[in-house]
Amino acid sequence: MFTPSLARQCYEQIFLIRFCEEAIQAHYSQDEMKTPVHLCIGQEAIAAGVMSALPPQSKIFGTYRNHGLYLMATQEPDGFFAELHGKQTGPAMGKAGSMHLTSPEHQLMATSAVVGTTIPVAVGAAFANQYEKKGGMVAVFFGDGAIEEGVFWESLNFASLRGLRILFVCEDNDLAIHTPGKARRGFRSFRDAVKGFRCYYDEGDGSRADVAYQKTSKLIQQMKKKAQPAFLCLKYYRFLEHVGVNEDFKFGYRKKPTSQQAKLYDPCYQIEKICLRKGIKKQSLEGIQSRLKERIEKSILKAKQAPFPSSQELYNHIFSTI
């Protein structure tokens, strides 16, 4: 059940992610963050809702659009901004930048700039859980663009064949850079194709944390009862350009949403509405917002003041194990 305390918690998490993204927008032109950024404005409720429903210690894998995953896993922005500034105090000592953020101690195992690459690795982690009889859950997040890659289907096949406990989460904005799904696919429906595997399936509105939470909880229960993978497709609206901090409606490949549509697509608007409906006071929500803003500004300041790593750091942590 999506209780009032869960709604409040998701409110805090969604606004943490949103305010971090807005802080990047505000500071990016100073050119101190030497990393491309794929902002997740519009997508925050997927990380918050899904990750809140996963069993503790679940292993998480994702893509370059990973800010929400990182902030959900760690629940704090210091390491996040340090890494974006290339500083020694970042989780990868400044070597990962935005696109390869990880925090293995918080179970965020791998994220990557190369589309589809973490999917088979996540399946390997789920296979290891099964092989070593460890139990445990794995969740892999990927964009709809990864569905056109062979490795996605091979991974789904292996997971279905072996009955692995892995949740495939498709973060579906119906865009690969500027190209919609219809212009990319020679098949009518990935939903029908996925349903042909021995795999649980569900889909829903990724702008709503309650939907993401409830659908994930249901799939986890099914997977616990009978081990096989699950595929959850969550649709959301990407508000900004593919990479960078600006809007891109001027390119004309999609229409700017009306203000009414923009509200419905906005996870912040949606979670606020849910919280108010559940009896949480506006004043308490405003308190959360101002505490988060203060915290984020402090993190950015710390990141700017932190030292860069030494050149020797380039030779450390070249190989990893999961």
Ligand X SMILES: Cc1ncc(C[n+]2csc(CCOP(=O)(O)OP(=O)(O)O)c2C)c(N)n1
Q: Which range binds Mg ion by CB under 5 A, 174-182, 202-210, 262-270, 275-283? A: 174-182
Q: Which residue has tokens 């989460």?
A: 169
Give the strands of the sheet with 230-235, arranged side by side.
108-112, 59-63, 138-143, 166-172, 230-235, 200-205
Contact 14, 285 (CB under 8 A): no
| 266 interacts with Mg ion by CB under 5 A | no
Q: Which range binds Mg ion by CB under 5 A, 71-79, 141-149, 207-215, 303-311? A: 141-149
User: Shortest approach of ligand X to residue 101 CB, angstroms?
Assistant: 14
- Say which residues have a Cβ less than 8 Å from residue 266's Cβ, sequence separation at least 6: 42, 207, 239
Backbone phi, then psi, for 134, in 5-degree steps? -90, -15
Q: Which of 175, 194, 232, 234 binds Mg ion (CB under 5 A)?
A: 175
Q: Which is nearer to ligand X, 111 or 129 (CB)?
A: 111
Q: Which is nearer to Mg ion, 19 or 142 (CB)?
A: 142
User: Shortest approach of ligand X to residue 173 CB, angstroms?
Assistant: 5
Q: Which is nearer to Mg ion, 191 or 317 (CB)?
A: 191
The DSSP code for 186 is S
Both tokens of 21, joined, read: 């993204």
DSSP 24-76: HHHHGGG----S--B--TTTHHHHHHHHHHSPTT-EEEEES--HHHHHHHH--
Contact 121, 87 (CB under 8 A): no
Determine the residue with CB nearest ligand X.
143
Q: Which is nearer to ligand X, 101 or 175 (CB)?
A: 175
Q: Which is nearer to ligand X, 83 or 144 (CB)?
A: 144
143 forms beta bridges with 171
User: Shortest approach of ligand X to residue 65 CB, angstroms?
Assistant: 4
DSSP 195-260: HTSS-EEEEEETT-HHHHHHHHHHHHHHHHHS---EEEEEE----S-SSBSS--GGG-SSPPPPHH
Helix (H) or strand (E) holding 139: strand 138-143
Q: Which residue has tokens 């998701």?
A: 10
Determine the residue with CB nearest Mg ion.
143
Q: Which is nearer to ligand X, 111 or 299 (CB)?
A: 111
> Among ligand X, Mg ion, none, what binds residue 65 when CB lies within 5 to 8 Å by partner kind?
ligand X
- Say which residues have a Cβ less than 8 Å from residue 211's Cβ, sequence separation at least 6: 45, 49, 204, 205, 234
Q: Which of 62, 94, 120, 143 binds Mg ion (CB under 5 A)?
A: 143
Interface residue list for ligand X (CB under 6 A): 65, 113-116, 143-146, 173, 175-177, 242
| 173 interacts with Mg ion by CB under 5 A | yes
> Among ligand X, Mg ion, none, what binds residue 73 when CB lies within 5 to 8 Å by partner kind?
none
| 144 interacts with Mg ion by CB under 5 A | yes
Q: How far, CA to CA in Å, does 119 sit from each of 123, 160, 247? A: 6, 14, 29
> Among ligand X, Mg ion, none, what binds residue 177 when CB lies within 5 to 8 Å by partner kind?
ligand X
Q: Which is nearer to ligand X, 4 or 180 (CB)?
A: 180
Q: Which range binds Mg ion by CB under 5 A, 57-65, 147-155, 169-177, 187-195? A: 169-177
User: Shortest approach of Mg ion to residue 302 CB, angstroms?
Assistant: 33
Residues forming the site for Mg ion (CB under 5 A): 143-145, 173, 175
